[in-house]
Each structure stands twice: as C-alpha cells, then as structure tokens.
Amino acid sequence: MTVEMTMPPLELGASHNHGGNVALLLPRLAGLLGTALGNTVTAEVAPSYELLLERLLAGTTQVAWLPPLLHARATRQGARLAAVPLRGGWLTYRSALLVRKDQPVVGLSRMRGLRAAWVDRSSGSGYVFPRLELSMLGAAPERFFASEEFFGSAAKASAAVVAGEADVCACFVSDAAGRDPGAALEDVRRAVGDAAPWLRVLHVTEPIPPDGFVLAARLSGPEQTRVTAALLALHETLAGRDLLRDMLRAEKLSAVTEPIVRSLRSWMDAAAARGG
C-alpha cells in the first residue's frame, strides 16, 4: 500500500510589483494548489521583488512567482525553478517602451534628455531588460536619460508619463508583440489600463527569458516534485485555465528547458558586465 506523503502548510508568494490584480488572484492560485496537493496553501503578496526573494531564500515563502533574473539569482542560492508560463505558444515575452502620443521622439537615438519612469529595479519588463537592450543598442540610459525614477508598477509609471511627470516608461508585452503592432497595443492596454489611449509604442525589445515559479530549498526533493506536478497540471481544469489567463496571461505552465537556462545565463552575464 502506498502512503501519501504529508506536507507542511505552504506559503505562495508574489510581489505587488507584478501589477494587475495580483492581490486578488494570488489567493485563487493558492486555493487551486492547495486542492491539488491536499494541503494548506496560503497567499502572501510582498511589497517588492527583493523582499519576496528574501522570503523565498529564508524559507518563509516556499513557492514564489519571480521575474527572470531574480529567479536566476534564487537558483544560484539553492532554490529550484519549477515552471514557466507558456504564452501564445512561446516561453519568452518582451517589453515595450512607451511615450505619450504627442511626444515627438521617433527612435531610440532621439531619447537623449528624456525622463524615464521604471517599475522596480528587479522588474524584467519594467526595467532590467529594456534598460539592458538600450545599452546594447548604444543608448545607455545613464548617459541618455535626464533622470530615472521607480514607481512600483507599470500602471503608475505610465500614469506619470501621461501626467507629464516623466517621458518614457516600459511594460510587459507578449512575444507576439514583436511581430504584430496590434498585439502590442492590446498588451499595453492590459498592462497599463486607463493610460493606454494616451500612449504609443516606441520600441519592442527582443525576446526575454520567462518569469517563473521557484521552490525554496527547504522543501524536500519529494515535496518539490509534488508541487512542480501540481503547477504543471493547473491548465487541466477550467478553473486553472481561467486563473492562468487572468493572472499570467498564459495558457499553461511548462517545464524548464535547457535553452531557457542558457538564455538566463547569457542575460545574467550581460547584466553583470553592465553593473546590473
């Protein structure tokens, strides 16, 4: 007879900086995981990505939704990347640089002197990757921008641009946005809400490695296996598919592949070379 392993209660964590309705949706995800595991799973929304990482590394949070370079840091300290979102058939996403519609800037080379409104220092689409790409394209933000300020969410950063408090911001868009301007505009609308009608897309970045769900090192091997299986099976129920769409804009969670690991290493090396 097989005896089902009993797990301790789990804490599922995300950050307010993910934006959207994460505070409302995270408890739904915790409930689905709890049902799948036959276990108590609580939801905790941290005020920043860095605090979420600290909780994961300390073992206070056992499952965390983290942006790419942050989950890469976590895995180098013993955590395990368990699952990544599949969005429109792609395991990558992009970032869109946005300016006001009446802003005369027409290319990256004309951004000198603008004021940047970023999300958070650990936000993949709202800071890290668009800033890295600008540097790679010869428009290093530390030289081009007149100022750089953090606003905590894409909605707040975009509102600052619309209000004239800043000139350029960045937000999450799907991989399809790199090929389809219509998809880019729809993704921007979902990301920034009410500010969208007053903004236009200046630039869409190259593909970015995915965000993902990371498991704390304090979980045992069998516990990590069970949690990973529950995450990868979320799309098999209607409630799970709805939650993945609403929270992650994804159709399912996928296992981590070697190309993703290599891409993360490459981006981390690029960030380190530029002091990121």
Q: What is the DSSP string of 172-237?
A: EEEGGGGT-HHHHHHHHHHHHGGGGGGEEEEEEPSPB---EEEE-TTS-HHHHHHHHHHHHTGGGS
Specify the pTM.
0.83
208 close to 173: Cβ distance less than 8 angstroms: no
Segment 247-268 mean pLDDT = 86
Give the pLDDT of residue 208.
Answer: 87
Q: How confident is the model over 96-132, as pLDDT tens digits? A: 999 999 988 777 877 889 999 999 988 989 999 999 8
Beta-carbon neighbour count of residue 275 at 10 Å? 7
Q: How confident is the model over 150-186, as pLDDT tens digits? A: 999 999 999 999 999 999 999 999 998 888 888 888 9
Does domain 10-89+209-273 correspond to CATH entry 3.40.50.2000? no
Ranges of each domain in the chain: 10-89+209-273, 93-204
Looking at CATH, the fold of the domain delimited by 93-204 is given as D-Maltodextrin-Binding Protein; domain 2 (3.40.190)
Give the pLDDT of residue 20.
Answer: 74
Beta strands (DSSP E) in 79-158 are 80-86, 93-100, 115-118, 147-150
Phi, psi torsion values for 221, nearest 5 degrees:
-55, -50
Q: Answer yes or no: same fold for 10-89+209-273 and 93-204.
A: yes
